[in-house]
Each structure stands twice: as structure tokens, then as C-alpha cells.
Amino acid sequence: MKKYKKVVVSMLSLMILAVALIGCSSKSASDLIVGQWIVPGEEDRAGTTSDLVALEFFSDGTYVSNRSNYSGGYSIDDDRIKLDGVLAEPLTFTFELNEDTLIFYYDDGEVMNEYQRVE
């Protein structure tokens, strides 16, 4: 009976450790992208330009931008992001993301915009 209790306690300890390690795993791109982003130096132009210089992503899979026809849903698939538009064609970019920087690339690899997280 004592051996059985030791096995059960050991199994429970391993399960608790596994859950703790899973909880400490790194965040996904879908988690990291949530928040406000802006192209540095473009804050004053965000309301007057047709360039995509300000974005805000929400955890429910929606976003808004400084362009009135680009808001709605977004989806992430590996290193690609698709931004749906209102009565406009969706925009799809390759992207790179870390805690404070979001970079969109054109299909030819050229940088479209580099955004910084708004604190």
C-alpha cells in the first residue's frame, strides 16, 4: 500500500510540474500582436494619410487601423497575416514580431512598414 501511495504522489507531482511548464511556455504571435502599433514618427499623420501607419489588434481576432476601409478581422498563419478590409481586398503580408516591434514585408521581401508597440 505504501508503494502505491508513493507512485500516486509521484504521478501527481509530475502532472503538476508538466502543467506548470506548459503555463510558462512562450506566447504565440496571436497573443503578442494584441495591442496598439504605430510607425514611429507617423503619429501626426495617422489621421490624414492613406498609408497603413497605425493598427490596433484585439484578442477576439479583430483589428482597426488609421484607414477607414481597413478594419475587421485578421488571421495569422505561421509568418503570414491577413487583414480583412471593409469593401476592400484583404491585405496579406509576411510579418516578423517580437515584444515591441512588428514588421510587415511585401512578397518580394522588402519592408513595407516597421511598427512599434504603443505603451
Residue 16 lies in a domain: no
What confidence tens digit (pLDDT) does each residue in 27-49 have? Answer: 788 899 999 999 999 988 888 88
pLDDT grade for 22, boundaries at 50, 70 and 90? very low
What is the residue whose three cell numbers read 485578421? 74
For the chain, the average pLDDT equals 83
Residue 77 lies in a domain: yes
Q: From CA 51, how far away is CA 113, in angstroms rounded? A: 10
Residue 10 lies in a domain: no
The least confident of 10-19, 61-70, 96-105 is: 10-19
Q: From CA 78, how far away is CA 86, in angstroms rounded? A: 24
Residue 13 lies in a domain: no
Q: From CA 90, how far away is CA 21, in angstroms rounded? A: 38
What is the domain count for the chain? Answer: 1
Q: What pLDDT, on the 0 to 100 scale, is given for residue 118?
A: 94
H or E segment and range at residue 4: helix 2-23
Please, are residues 113 and 103 in contact by the beta-carbon 8 Å criterion?
yes
Residue 87 lies in a domain: yes
For residue 66, the domain's CATH number is 2.40.128.270
Cα torsion angle, 46, 50, 51, 54, sign: positive
Query: Which residues constitute the domain of residue 101?
Result: 27-117
CA 27: distance to chain centroid? 9
